[in-house]
Chain A
Amino acid sequence: MPINKSAKLARNLFNKKDVKRLPTRDGYGHGVLKIGTKNNQVVVLCADLIESTRSHWFKEKFPERYVELGVAEQNLVAVAAGMAIGGKIPYITSYATFSPGRNNEQIRTLACISDLPIKVIGSHAGVSVGPDGATHQALEDIALMRVLPRMTVLVPCDAVEAEKATITAARINGPVYVRLAREKTPVMTTSKTSFKPGKANIFWRGSDVTIIACGPLVHEALLAAKVLESKKIKVEVINNSTIKPLDEKTILSSVRKTKAVVTVEEHQVNGGLGSAIAELLGKKLPTPIEMIGLQDRFGESGEPEELLKHFKLINPHIIQAVKKVIRRKR
């Protein structure tokens, strides 16, 4: 099997019944508790979503370092900026539609122009938020954050990687955005899987098409890879958990080999991961690309699985895109 052994992925990855399922927001909750235990400058600020963002685990242990803002996402950033100027490392938590959605100007001015170590934790990203509907499903947050100078953008693929991203964020001396999801999703990585900001990770090796994915949909990309293997189509699956700065080296060396790309994200294809890859390839290695993601439309209410299918974000759609891009190869 062409799974990349050096990635040290979970063995039960393809076992539908056995694979462990956790929401990436849990990974943040555990991660911030760990980094907060090590570093007493870490503070957590939340805009009245303490339990659903999993910030309550930190509050239970460090109530004196937890700050409640109420429903005030603009002030969430302003207070965090002040605390960062005062030497703290603030993690600010809310739903991604509100933060970095509603408070985009404050993030631009107070976190990025001022270059402060504010860690923006945006939970409930993607259509998999489910029944809450379009207003609560963040689908533009990657675009909003990756266009900001000085901002690092991390989209962990599972709860284990989310924990690592949360811990690592404190060591980045500047603003960081970490994108999280509400739903339980398969845990693909293990404590031994390497995670470095700015480093993409090859999960599955192949030479026909490069699938570049981020977030929990990396699992769908792996499922697609497995099905395609049986049809003698060899794809390479890259977990691109850092959208910015992009790991140009890993991506370009894979695409030089495959000469065709499919991007996969639970986000608008305009401005997100797909755009970031297209910008890179357009400049350095023009290559046919198909993009899986929201095609310039909003989400709606429904069950998470129904919505992923409805918006064509899962493995049968990835397989179709792979076949399509192969036909476009020169």
Chain B
Amino acid sequence: MGYIHDKKIKKLEVIATDIRQDLIKMLLEAGSGHTAGPISLADIFTALYFHVLNHKPKKPNWDGRDRLILSAGHLAPIRYVAMAYAGYFPKKELMTLRKLGTRLQGHPERLALPGAETTSGPLGDGIGQACGIALAALMDKKKFRVYCLMSDAEQQAGIVWESAMFAAKNNLNNITAIIDRNNIQIGGMTEKVMPIEPLRRKYQAFGWHVLEVDGHNIEAIVDATEAAKAIYEKPTLIIAHTIPGKGLKEMEFDYKWHGKPPKKDEAENFLKELRTLEGKIKSEHE
């Protein structure tokens, strides 16, 4: 959609905080699922769904839409909340997450929810699908862009590098991949479990253009996605440095929050913290 003005940035920051609150509420209701990752992605998903993506929420199958592939399926809650806020479905449906008969499967399913684009869960499978969608688009001379959100731990999966090679070989410059570099995975810190660094140099060596941004700075995120559109003959990777659980002091940097939902008292504290964030307060009694 192009570069972003200060006024809109402020608006999106408020949306991102609201989205975090709904994330806490839906995870509390679901009783299982991942928390820290989705929370840390609130700013990126707000930027994507409210500024970067060319899409029509009421027409999720519109052929000209930009495709957003969520590779790390366990991050589904943030996608669902962002989609509800953008108008894909009513917000009250968020409370059905992970329940029998829901469209909001624990890990997203292409057939269940229009706009989910792909099925994801087993880590590493998203970027190859993004490559296939991008290649088919080039064959058919379609102009949309393909975005693919990966987790950092996912970079430990071999298939990611098969796909990274493929994207570079085929000059898939219609792909913008984003890695949520939050440094945690279910078993601890990524660099302790299985080091993935130097990530930037690895992707550069594989033939990608690489940018790095503060994943909580909406303006920086938007600027990087704009810059990616200008790259010729190479796919672009944006390494978004994020703080797991960003916005919630107790959760930040603590890998224990990677794979569990909040309990009721924890959720209340988190919600209170979010409602009173500096400068973004709407009402303490909402």
- Residues on A with C-beta less than 8 A from B134 are 82
Q: Which of A29-37, A106-114, A297-305, A311-319 faces chain B?
A: A106-114
B135 touches A109 (CB 8 A): no
- Residues on A with C-beta less than 8 A from B121 are 109
B162 touches A85 (CB 8 A): no
The reply to whether the CB of B113 lies closer than 8 angstroms to some CB of chain A is no
A90 to B128, CA, bound (A): 14
Q: B162: which of A72, A105, A110, A113 is its contact (CB, 8 Å)?
A: A72
B279 to chain A, nearest CB (A): 42
A78 touches B132 (CB 8 A): yes
Interface string of A50-88 (1 = CB under 8 A from B): 000000000000001101011010110111111111111
The reply to whether the CB of B165 lies closer than 8 angstroms to some CB of chain A is yes
A84 to B136, CA, bound (A): 8
Q: A109: which of B117, B122, B130, B137 is its contact (CB, 8 Å)?
A: B122
- Residues on B with C-beta less than 8 A from A69 are 162, 166
A113 to B133, CA, bound (A): 18
B132 touches A80 (CB 8 A): yes
A113 touches B136 (CB 8 A): no
B30 to chain A, nearest CB (A): 20
The reply to whether the CB of A248 lies closer than 8 angstroms to some CB of chain B is no
B159 touches A88 (CB 8 A): no
Interface string of B92-126 (1 = CB under 8 A from A): 00000000000000000111000001111110111
A226 to B36, CA, bound (A): 69
Interface size classification for chain A: 20 to 34
The reply to whether the CB of A247 lies closer than 8 angstroms to some CB of chain B is no
A110 to B163, CA, bound (A): 15
B274 to chain A, nearest CB (A): 34
A110 touches B119 (CB 8 A): yes
Which residue of chain B is the closest to A82 with respect to CB atoms?
B132
- Residues on A with C-beta less than 8 A from B136 are 82-83, 85-88
The reply to whether the CB of B90 lies closer than 8 angstroms to some CB of chain A is no
The reply to whether the CB of B265 lies closer than 8 angstroms to some CB of chain A is no
A86 touches B119 (CB 8 A): no
- Residues on B with C-beta less than 8 A from A65 are 139
A113 to B110, CA, bound (A): 8
- Residues on B with C-beta less than 8 A from A43 are 139
A72 touches B165 (CB 8 A): yes
Interface of B is mostly: helix
A79 touches B122 (CB 8 A): no
A82 to B133, CA, bound (A): 4
A85 to B118, CA, bound (A): 8
How many residues of chain B have a CB within 8 Å of chain A? 31
B112 to chain A, nearest CB (A): 10
A78 touches B131 (CB 8 A): yes
Assuming A72-B165, A115-B111, is B119 touching A79 (CB within 8 A)?
A: no
Assuming A78-B125, A86-B132, is B109 touching A113 (CB within 8 A)?
A: yes
B129 touches A72 (CB 8 A): no
B128 touches A79 (CB 8 A): yes
- Residues on B with C-beta less than 8 A from A90 are 132
B166 touches A110 (CB 8 A): no
B122 touches A105 (CB 8 A): yes
B111 to chain A, nearest CB (A): 6
B119 touches A114 (CB 8 A): yes
B125 touches A79 (CB 8 A): no
A19 to chain B, nearest CB (A): 42
Assuming A72-B162, A75-B162, A109-B119, is B133 touching A83 (CB within 8 A)?
A: yes
Which residue of chain B is the closest to A105 with respect to CB atoms?
B122
- Residues on B with C-beta less than 8 A from A64 are 139
- Residues on B with C-beta less than 8 A from A72 are 159, 162, 165-166
Which residue of chain A is the closest to B170 with respect to CB atoms?
A67
B207 to chain A, nearest CB (A): 14
A78 to B126, CA, bound (A): 7
B132 touches A81 (CB 8 A): yes
- Residues on A with C-beta less than 8 A from B117 are 85
B140 to chain A, nearest CB (A): 7
A109 touches B125 (CB 8 A): yes
Which residue of chain B is the closest to A108 with respect to CB atoms?
B122
B130 touches A82 (CB 8 A): yes
A74 touches B162 (CB 8 A): yes
- Residues on B with C-beta less than 8 A from A84 are 132
Of the A-B pairs whose beta carbons lie under 8 Å apart in the complex, a sample of 10, sorted by A's number, is A70-B162, A75-B163, A80-B132, A81-B128, A82-B135, A83-B135, A83-B136, A88-B139, A106-B125, A115-B111
Q: What is the interface of chain B, defined by CB distance below 8 A to chain A? A: 109-111, 117-122, 124-137, 139-140, 158-159, 162-163, 165-166
Q: What is the interface of chain A, defined by CB distance below 8 A to chain B? A: 43, 64-65, 67, 69-70, 72, 74-75, 77-88, 90, 105-106, 109-110, 113-115
Closest 5 CB pairs of A and B: A82-B132, A78-B128, A86-B136, A75-B162, A72-B162
Known: A74-B158, A79-B132, A106-B159. 20 other contacts (CB 8 A): A65-B139, A67-B135, A70-B165, A72-B159, A72-B165, A74-B125, A75-B128, A75-B166, A78-B129, A78-B159, A79-B135, A79-B163, A81-B128, A82-B118, A82-B133, A83-B136, A86-B136, A87-B136, A113-B110, A115-B110
